[in-house]
């Protein structure tokens, strides 16, 4: 008899869960910063900004530069630099394994991220991933930590509201974990940038180093 109940649906954050895209994003922030401000050195506190929407990151950096009025322009310039980059992000362990497992078990799954839809779609294509359902920052009125991202994706996947509390949400950030909690779902922490204690304190019900260990956990009795 199975000791693990399979979730009715599985929702994924993108950056830090499916891919390590820090270097790709940082290069775009840095080159856009140089274009707007003429300075090549960019102070970018990765852990502090992890999981936040690109517009909030742009506002943070412009405010520190003393030019908050350039936030919208910096945001759009960074997006242009990112989308024109042909270098894919790094695929993290276990993504294709867990995706194959979910397909085999006919468990609905998809991506809801604070990244742009264009970047997610390009990355999925470049890395030959099978995600057909994905939402980006343009698809929400309110980015994470608001629950709209995960509620919208659940609706796209036709997850019944009564199944939300059993729906797994893979997140590596405090921001995203908060969004999953507010959506009434089951947060599962991935230890890309935060410790196990930090993710559990934020609300993760389970914690894994990567999706590879999560896949192994799910498949061991199935």
Domain parsing of the chain, residue ranges: 10-20+89-219, 22-84
Would you list the DSSP string of 175-216? HHHHHHHHTT-EEEEE-SSS-HHHHHHHT-SEEESSHHHHHH
- Predicted TM-score of the model (pTM): 0.86
Query: Within 13 A of 80's CA, how many CA atoms are on the CB side?
Result: 11
pLDDT value, residue 156? 97
Cis? peptide before 5, omega within 30° of 0 = no
Q: How far, in Å, CA of 149 to CA of 141, rounded? A: 9
- Edge-first strand order for the sheet with 206-208 is 134-135, 109-112, 10-12, 168-171, 186-190, 206-208
| Predicted confidence (pLDDT) at residue 53 exceeds the cutoff of 50 | yes
Residue 222 pLDDT level (bands cut at 50, 70, 90): confident
Q: How far, in Å, CA of 4 to CA of 218, rounded? A: 7
Contact (Cβ atoms closer than 8 angstroms) between residue 78 and residue 32: yes
Average pLDDT, the chain: 93
Top-tier CATH class for 10-20+89-219:
alpha beta
| Predicted confidence (pLDDT) at residue 2 exceeds the cutoff of 70 | no
């Amino acid at each position: 008899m199975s000791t693990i109940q399979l979730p009715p649906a599985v929702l994924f954050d993108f950056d830090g869960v499916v891919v390590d895209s820090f270097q790709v994003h940082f290069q775009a922030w840095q080159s856009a910063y140089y274009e707007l401000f003429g300075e090549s050195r960019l102070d970018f506190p990765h852990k502090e900004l992890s999981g936040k929407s690109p517009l909030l990151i742009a506002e943070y950096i412009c405010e520190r530069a003393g030019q908050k009025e350039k936030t919208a322009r910096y945001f759009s310039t960074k997006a242009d630099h990112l989308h024109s980059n042909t270098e894919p992000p790094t695929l993290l362990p276990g993504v294709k394994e867990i995706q194959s497992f979910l397909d085999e078990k006919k468990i609905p799954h998809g991506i809801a991220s604070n990244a742009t839809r264009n970047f997610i779609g390009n990355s999925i294509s470049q890395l030959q991933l099978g995600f057909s359902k994905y939402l980006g920052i343009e698809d929400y009125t309110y980015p994470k930590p608001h629950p709209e991202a995960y509620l919208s994706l659940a609706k796209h996947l036709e997850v019944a509201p009564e199944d939300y509390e059993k729906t797994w949400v893979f997140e590596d950030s405090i921001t995203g974990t908060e969004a999953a909690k507010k959506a009434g779902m089951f947060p599962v922490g991935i230890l890309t940038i935060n410790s196990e204690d930090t993710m559990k304190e934020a609300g993760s019900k389970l914690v894994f180093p990567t999706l590879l260990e999560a896949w192994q956990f799910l498949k061991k009795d199935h």
